[in-house]
Structure 1
Amino acid sequence: MMNKLKLIAFIFFIGTTGFAQEVEFTEYDLDNGLHVILHQDNTAPVVTVGVMYHVGSKDEAPGRTGFAHFFEHLLFEGTKNIERGEWFNIVAANGGSNNANTTEDRTYYYETFPSNNLELGLWMESERMLHPVINQIGVDTQNEVVKEEKRTRVDNAPYGKIIYNTGIVPYMFKKHPYQNSVIGTMEDLDAAKLDEFEAFFEKYYKPNNATLVVAGDLDIAKTKKMIKDYFGPIPSGPEVERVDIEEEPITETIVATEYDSNIQIPAKIFVYRTPSMKERDAYVLSMISSILTDGKSSRMYKKMVDEEKEAIQVLAFPRSMEDYGLYLMGALAMGDTSLDTLASSMDEEIERLKTELISEKEYQKLQNKFENRFVNSNSSIQGIASSLATYHMLYGDTDLINEEIEIYRDITREDIKEVANKYLNENQRLELEYLPQTDSQ
């Protein structure tokens, strides 16, 4: 009986991971440069309309940080045909939901509606692109919203400087605008004039700097016509000059201390600068993260939390970006454990990766995890829409939505060892002590 159950489980696993359904899509360009990606899935009566703009915090001028994230909020204020404050009401009244998010490299807006409201979603996003209302009232309103978000998520959040990189990136980038956090500084936003916000919009929020993705219950021919009607007349903007700044390699250990008044438990953090998200090595580093801290059987968790009881939590993850990446490792101290002890334990695990091949059993487990992640990433219409836009805009290859798993499948145990030796070196990292702030500091 047990063998039969194992066989059934294995067949189910193969069905859900080994043969993930291919995401079919159609892509083309409008005359104004807007790149369009359509994915038809009529299994449920929902549709997502998303627009990704190739603008993030790295595109901001010196002294004007936070603009891209600010526009994430500002472009919900209203348009020529959508009254101020009505955007969310229109979406909710028509059974939909919406959101937006910003990274160092891009800004993404999307709505999900019952599929009979597809045209409404297209109209709203064309309104946002064609003629949003950018005035002083909206700027002042969203300035307060962003300030509150910064207070809540960064300034008053435990370990906020690590989570949002504000206490990390200034050490890792000296030339590249990745040295600025996505949320920026309030001083820069306060100092900006209305015409600077208007100029930022005119430069970046144009069809030739955007990707429109429509995914879900749709008819391809009808959707193409609506897209042409709503987006075709929008004039293109100037060609955007991309950031092209090369950082000098890190060749000596950077030692730093950051304080946080919101924490009581100190942490030791290692940060390494790594290659672009498009590079194969970035995929290998994702696998290394899983080996180290993904689950209770991971190496750092098992050693530092379970066995040695020197950490209450461990972390290891890549922060992949278009031009460069960051790789973070860290641990929160248990009791009186010193940060030097945490550092030594992390270095031991790094050294194991650099000198020993992971076992075949560990390797197969790792491959199974990434197969599952691949399937799950395409399990919702919203997720598919976001992935299609991201793969086109930041990776330059929309087909990765189906083919990226082959990159992971092709990674060998030897690759993991080689990449660990290439990037996870003491003289190439930031060693950060993250400490509770006291009244005397």
Structure 2
Amino acid sequence: MIKKSFSALALVLIGAFSQAQEIKFQEYDLPNGMHVILHQDNKAPVVTTAVMYHVGAKDELANRTGFAHFFEHLLFEGTPNIKRGEWMKIVAANGGTNNANTTDDRTYYYETFPSNNEQLGLWMEAERLTHPVINQIGVDTQDKVVKEEKRRSYDNRPYGNILTAIKEGLFKKHPYKNTTIGKMKDIDSAKLEEFKTFFKKYYVPNNATLVVAGDINIKQTKEWVSDYFSTIPKGEPIVRNFPKEDPITKETEITYYDPNIQIPAYLYTYRTPSDKTRDAKVLDMISSYLSNGKSSVLYKKLVDNEKKALAVQAINLGEEDYSIFAFFAIPMGQTSEATLRTDIDAEVKKLQTDLISEEDYQKLQNQFENQFVNSNSSIQGIASSLATYHVLQGDTNLINKEIDIYRGITREDIRDVAKKYLNSNQRVIINYLPEKK
């Protein structure tokens, strides 16, 4: 009773705190279609200027994979007004930091400066969009950089190509079958004009969302945004018509070999609905219940108590068109794949049949309340969330409302969603094995 009362009290206190953290913002469109989101927070003298382009790996041609990620690097090469190699130096010299990242669905660039350099951040992002230098020198330079990243993070890293195996198993038609970093042969065989064509199609204001967050003056910021971005010509509308995947109705099994491992891994993978759906949020909670932390169901059973696995995890990877739910397990000693599968399936069956305990449910709610608060604990985090909710979810105010979706998920929802998506006839088993000698 004491533990249960404490959990309920903690939920109330955290809920009250998160309500107090409402993120206020203004949003509007420029005449050229660029979406602008402004968030004023004058508590600290910093400002983040960020642009999210609605272009990712899924937008690439079949034989030109890796383009979206390549541009994440290429667009730091400079402009007519920023000499090659000077981008990072300008940022650092003005007390700032910057970075970029790419997913299957979008590409994101940002700078964080002391607030007296807000105008500099806006100018730099406008430069990037208006007239980046895309030439053979830059392509050749970034080709080497990306190849090294691929070697370090994927090809030479133990278990580094697990996502490659998952995508190849789950997707046959949709471009999610390709990885974000792509195939280096596609980049190597591309002509310079193809890079310019990709930029012209996707790096246009009507495919971009600008976020300015932090210690700003709204009126002044709007004037600068208009000065730097409103005259950039609008691009052609982007039409997406990706092929739909056939439902998975029969369990299949594939094998993938990794020369960098000595111990196999086994994956049980499911294609699930878009991250925009409520069911995707329920699957988030299911993954947390099963494997978030040492007190989670699968960790306690397979790693801690029965010593059958070195590692076990349930992952929900949300994406714009489809999502991925995957169980990942590395066996301990002579534990067989069949044993791991049977034990994982048994826990899934419990979810599909019985309601989780009220105590476990309150624990889940507390975890998601904490995640919500922490995701908006910095100006950089707020800027990223604002852009993501607008571009990928279609509702910027989910930065405040999404937690209510999780709060509304019931124990019955958890049971029903597990029963709907996590069945053996809906999955692909992946045997991720050491390469044969």
Coarse TM-score class (shorter-chain normalised): over 0.9
AA at the equivalent of 2:79 = T
Q: Kindly tell me: are residues 105 and 370 of structure 1, through their superposed partners in 2, closer, same or farther at Cα, counting changes over 3 Å?
A: same
Report SS of the residue matched to 1:262.
coil
Q: CA deviation at 1:219?
A: 0.3
Q: CA deviation at 1:438?
A: 3.2
Equivalent position of 1:33 in the other structure: 33
416-425 or 335-344: which moved more? 335-344
Identity among equivalent positions (%) equals 64
Whole-Å Cα distance in 1 between the matches of residues 102 and 69 of structure 2? 6
Whole-Å Cα distance in 1 between the matches of residues 33 and 294 of structure 2? 48
**Does residue 140 of the first structure (1) align with residue 140 of the second (2)?**
yes
Report SS of the residue matched to 1:394.
helix
Whole-Å Cα distance in 2 between the matches of residues 235 and 143 of structure 1? 29
Equivalent position of 1:341 in the other structure: 339
Whole-Å Cα distance in 2 between the matches of residues 71 and 141 of structure 1? 12
**Does residue 158 of the first structure (1) align with residue 158 of the second (2)?**
yes
Whole-Å Cα distance in 2 between the matches of residues 266 and 170 of structure 1? 18
Report SS of the residue matched to 1:375.
helix
AA at the equivalent of 1:189 = I
Whole-Å Cα distance in 1 between the matches of residues 20 and 262 of structure 2? 45
Report SS of the residue matched to 1:126.
helix
Equivalent position of 2:121 in the other structure: 121
Q: Is the 8 A contact 1:58 1:243 kept in 2?
A: no
For 1:359-378, list aligned pairs within 5 A.
Answer: 359-378=357-376
Q: Is the 8 A contact 2:147 2:184 kept in 1?
A: yes
Report SS of the residue matched to 2:393.
coil
Whole-Å Cα distance in 2 between the matches of residues 53 and 11 of structure 1? 37
Q: What RMSD over aligned residues (CA atoms) do the two structures have, in Å?
A: 1.6
Whole-Å Cα distance in 1 between the matches of residues 50 and 96 of structure 2? 13
Q: Is the 8 A contact 1:59 1:243 kept in 2?
A: no
Whole-Å Cα distance in 2 between the matches of residues 198 and 129 of structure 1? 13
Q: CA deviation at 1:22?
A: 0.3
For 1:219-234, list aligned pairs within 5 A.
Answer: 219-234=217-232
Q: CA deviation at 1:179?
A: 0.7
**Does residue 404 of the first structure (1) align with residue 419 of the second (2)?**
no
Equivalent position of 2:277 in the other structure: 279
Alpha-carbon displacement from aligned partner over 1:22-59 (angstroms, at most 9, x marks no partner): 00000000001000000000000000000000000000
Equivalent position of 1:23 in the other structure: 23
**Does residue 94 of the first structure (1) align with residue 94 of the second (2)?**
yes
TM-score normalised by the chain length of structure 2: 0.97
AA at the equivalent of 1:399 = N
375-384 or 332-341: which moved more? 332-341
Q: Kindly tell me: are residues 301 and 20 of structure 1, through their superposed partners in 2, closer, same or farther at Cα, counting changes over 3 Å?
A: farther
Whole-Å Cα distance in 2 between the matches of residues 409 and 16 of structure 1? 13
Whole-Å Cα distance in 1 between the matches of residues 360 and 237 of structure 2? 48
Report SS of the residue matched to 2:350.
helix
For 1:291-330, list aligned pairs within 5 A.
Answer: 291-330=289-328
Whole-Å Cα distance in 2 between the matches of residues 39 and 366 of structure 1? 30
For 1:150-299, list aligned pairs within 5 A.
Answer: 150-162=150-162, 165-299=163-297
Whole-Å Cα distance in 1 between the matches of residues 148 and 408 of structure 2? 45
Q: Is the 8 A contact 1:17 1:371 kept in 2?
A: no
5+ long unaligned stretches in structure 1: none
Alpha-carbon displacement from aligned partner over 1:128-178 (angstroms, at most 9, x marks no partner): 00000000000010011111111010101111112xx11111221111111
Alpha-carbon displacement from aligned partner over 1:161-203 (angstroms, at most 9, x marks no partner): 12xx111112211111111110010110011000000000000
Report SS of the residue matched to 1:269.
strand
Whole-Å Cα distance in 1 between the matches of residues 289 and 392 of structure 2? 26
Q: Is the 8 A contact 1:211 1:393 kept in 2?
A: yes
Equivalent position of 1:81 in the other structure: 81
AA at the equivalent of 2:305 = E
Equivalent position of 2:329 in the other structure: 331
Q: Write out the 4+ residue segments of structure 1 that deviate beyond 2 Å after TM superposition.
A: 9-20
Report SS of the residue matched to 2:105.
coil
399-408 or 329-338: which moved more? 329-338
Report SS of the residue matched to 1:49.
strand
Q: Kindly tell me: are residues 433 and 10 of structure 1, through their superposed partners in 2, closer, same or farther at Cα, counting changes over 3 Å?
A: closer
Q: Is the 8 A contact 1:280 1:407 kept in 2?
A: yes
Report SS of the residue matched to 1:331.
strand
Whole-Å Cα distance in 2 between the matches of residues 400 and 88 of structure 1? 33
Whole-Å Cα distance in 2 between the matches of residues 89 and 254 of structure 1? 51
Whole-Å Cα distance in 1 between the matches of residues 331 and 167 of structure 2? 23
Instruction: Tell me which of 408, 427, 441 is aligned to 2:425.
Output: 427
Equivalent position of 1:47 in the other structure: 47
Whole-Å Cα distance in 1 between the matches of residues 245 and 282 of structure 2? 22
Alpha-carbon displacement from aligned partner over 1:237-263 (angstroms, at most 9, x marks no partner): 111112432111011112011111111
Whole-Å Cα distance in 2 between the matches of residues 361 and 283 of structure 1? 20
Q: CA deviation at 1:416?
A: 0.5
Equivalent position of 1:381 in the other structure: 379
Report SS of the residue matched to 2:180.
coil
AA at the equivalent of 2:159 = Y
Equivalent position of 1:354 in the other structure: 352
Q: Is the 8 A contact 2:14 2:369 kept in 1?
A: no
Whole-Å Cα distance in 1 between the matches of residues 157 and 68 of structure 2? 22
Report SS of the residue matched to 1:300.
helix
Q: Is the 8 A contact 2:11 2:362 kept in 1?
A: no
For 1:51-62, list aligned pairs within 5 A.
Answer: 51-62=51-62
AA at the equivalent of 1:208 = N
Q: CA deviation at 1:15?
A: 7.1
Report SS of the residue matched to 1:160.
coil
Q: Is the 8 A contact 2:11 2:365 kept in 1?
A: no
Whole-Å Cα distance in 2 between the matches of residues 265 and 374 of structure 1? 36
Whole-Å Cα distance in 1 between the matches of residues 169 and 305 of structure 2? 33
Report SS of the residue matched to 1:168.
helix
